[in-house]
A and B are shown apart, each in its own frame.
Chain A
Amino acid sequence: MKFDWYYEPTSVNECVEILKEYGSEAKLLAGGTDLVVRLRSRAQKVKALVSLNAMPELSRIQKTEDGLHIGAMTKLMDITKSEMFTGSWMVVKKSAGNVSSMQVRNVATIGGNTCNASPSADTVPGMIASDAIVRIAGTEGERALPLEQFFTGPGKTALKKDEMVVGFKLPDLGPGNGAAYKKYAIRGDSDIAIVGVAARLKLSQDGIIEDARVVLGAVAPTPIRVPSAEQMLIGQVLTDELAAKAAQAASDFCTPITDARATKEYRKEMVRVWTQYVLKEAHSNAQ
């Protein structure tokens, strides 16, 4: 693995100028737990490696009036230990703990897990269920994008050549929200998810579902919401029957592939099983 140029910019402005110069021949190094491995296997070749490790301002978690702001370089381990992920935001904290092993979480970042754009990324479904917004910086300035629009294919994002993710915002969703993420993998967290399901339910005082998100990972080219499942939940009270119906809708909607970990048939079936668990857990968390 060799690269021709190595940069350690100390500001976002410096960084995006470098990205503009090299375009697709530059790669950003966050924690490196995906990138370094890929570079070494020569699955990827790179002209310029741009380390984000000299920009500590990208590692902050801050609560403001409109929500929780998480810097893109925030380590997954720090998220799992943070007290700031209250209420339904807890799903992001818990799902960060589902990524790989302790050693990886000590180094890996939420920005990296997102921008690596694996369809099975564990931190993503919970964030999409939380209506997360991605903050992007480029040479033309900053822009924001709903996270669910950020992924364009396996390993592909909506970032332009001169852009980088600087952080995420979890908006304040108000009271009555509960969310959950469940990962299904053979060897526990150390394995990549065969299926990942996240859900968020917003309940009224009477237990009626006012809003719902059902998000699937590892069963489509990108993490996906299931609008049909969400629509059938809204306005209803969650019963076992309704959960089963929504889960069937989720199973019908996803388009998994067969690979070394599981067949597409098995994944569809596991989505059906898992979605029921996750809906019930989200419901319980909303109480």
Chain B
Amino acid sequence: MINPSAGAINIDFHVNGKSYSMQVEPFKTILEVLRDDLGLTGAKKGCDDGNCGACTVIMDGKAVKACSLLIGQARGKKITTIEGLEDENGLHPLQKAFIDRFAIQCGFCTPGMIMTAKAILDANPNATEEDIREGMHGNICRCTGYVKIVEAVEAARDQMNR
């Protein structure tokens, strides 16, 4: 087995296409490592207890709440954060749709919302409004009332299916 550790453990994982090999204390969450050690502050620390979804990232293709995962659980995994969505062509259709549809007010829930939406659409490109609303149960927004968020996800879906 990987040797028991009383101090830092070694973790190899990938974030936004880059490989990392880190010595890190095993009681840190994936969220803390992303934000504090890698400087990727897009994933937010909202409730820090697994409820609000502002920390949502995609790990091996699945949306997960980074605040509720210890860094050891990232071993060998591929993580995508909001910073990894933009490419050489510019913003991801989801990012553009959130802006164009005014689905952002304070913006705090936004990265988590977009990552969850991406995970839904990646698995189900023809997700219906019901599928989207069901999939986004784990993300809370205090500002918008969700209407524009759902509209933005549907608009991005339609754009991506063209």
Contacts and interface: CB of A to CB of B under 8 A. Distances in A.
Interface stretch (B33-41, B45-53, B89-97, B147-155): B45-53
A43 B132 CA distance: 34
A220 interface: no
A14 B4 CA distance: 12
A102 B116 contact: yes
Given A6-B9, A32-B73, A190-B138, A37 B2 contact: no
Interface stretch (B64-72, B80-88, B102-110): B64-72
A82 interface: no
Contacts of B56: 103
Interface residues of B, number: 32
Contacts of A2: 27
A123 to B, nearest CB: 17
A53 B75 contact: yes
A100 B68 contact: no
Main secondary structure of the interface of A (DSSP, over half): mixed
A287 interface: no
B69 A32 contact: yes
Contacts of A49: 26-27, 70
Contacts of A103: 53, 56, 63-65, 116, 138
Contacts of A33: 50, 65, 68
Contact of B1 (A14, A101, A189): A14
Interface of B: 1-2, 4-6, 9, 26-27, 29, 48-50, 53, 56, 62-65, 68-70, 72-73, 75, 116, 119-120, 134-135, 137-139
Given A1-B27, A5-B5, A102-B116, 11 more contacts: A6-B5, A6-B26, A11-B1, A36-B29, A37-B50, A41-B49, A54-B75, A77-B62, A102-B120, A106-B63, A107-B68
